Amino acid sequence: MDDAPTTRPSLLVRLHHPRNEAAWHEFTEIYGPLVFRLARRRGLQYADAADLMQEVFQIVARVIERGTYDANRGSFRGWLSAIARNTAVDLLDAGRRQTRGTGDTDVKDLLEALPAPSPEDTVLFEAEFRRRLFEWAAGRVRTESTEAAWRAFHMTGVEGRPASEVAEALGTTVGTVYYYKSQVMARLRRLIEGFEGDESVNTREN
């Protein structure tokens, strides 16, 4: 995105460095629950969904380590969605139930066999991604905000309550409520656009 922060290196570029624990933590913090949630929607039990999440991340780590992710094949989220979908299919197929290896040949064969994601899968994955990205950003902003600021934002922006009612509940003015709300929303927007900007920067770099 053109208005996304430009000082922050692409997340996928930072993931090339195995010791960059912050980058990997950010990646798994957002995409982990997303992949897990989609696996559960595919019908996997809790333990199997957790196994799938770990397996998908092993594949991603190996591909990023070797620099074989090809942005020309589509968006990163589409690529990740295809890996998660195919791995889930394998786990659901009792006749083929086994742990997939993560060696170079296994990963290469897997990536070459990935079909293009269906429109339904793409829509579902994107919707879940948006939901998870907001959850992640909201969690971070809440820890950085004062209790009054967060409550003002949540009560007006999420619960949909009038600013006058919120001001009375918080013992403050309507102007202060709007100020708090705008500050929290601006921080949320910066985090979300910054993460999405990471992916768009990576696509241009590749």
Does the pLDDT value for residue 142 go beyond 90?
yes
Q: Is the pLDDT of residue 144 over 90?
A: yes
State residue 153 phi and psi, 5-degree precision: -65, -50
Query: Which is higher by pLDDT, 18 or 140?
Result: 140
Q: Give the orientation angle of helix 21-41 with respect to helix 76-92, to 10 degrees.
A: 50
Q: Following DSSP, what letter does each residue of 107-126 receive, concatenated?
A: HHHHHHHPPPPPHHHHHHHH
pLDDT tens per residue, range 101-140 = 444 444 444 444 444 556 666 677 788 888 889 999 999 9
**3 state DSSP class of 74:** coil
Name the nearest CA neighbour of 205 among 3, 11, 4.
11
Average pLDDT over residues 141-154: 97
pLDDT band (50, 70, 90) for residue 68: low
* Both structure tokens of 98: 């086994």
Under 8 Å between Cβ of 199 and 23:
no
- 105, 146 contact by CB (below 8 A): no
For 18-42, give one letter per residue: b (16+ CB within 10 A) or e.
eebeebbebbeebbbbbbbebbbeb
pLDDT of residue 160: 97
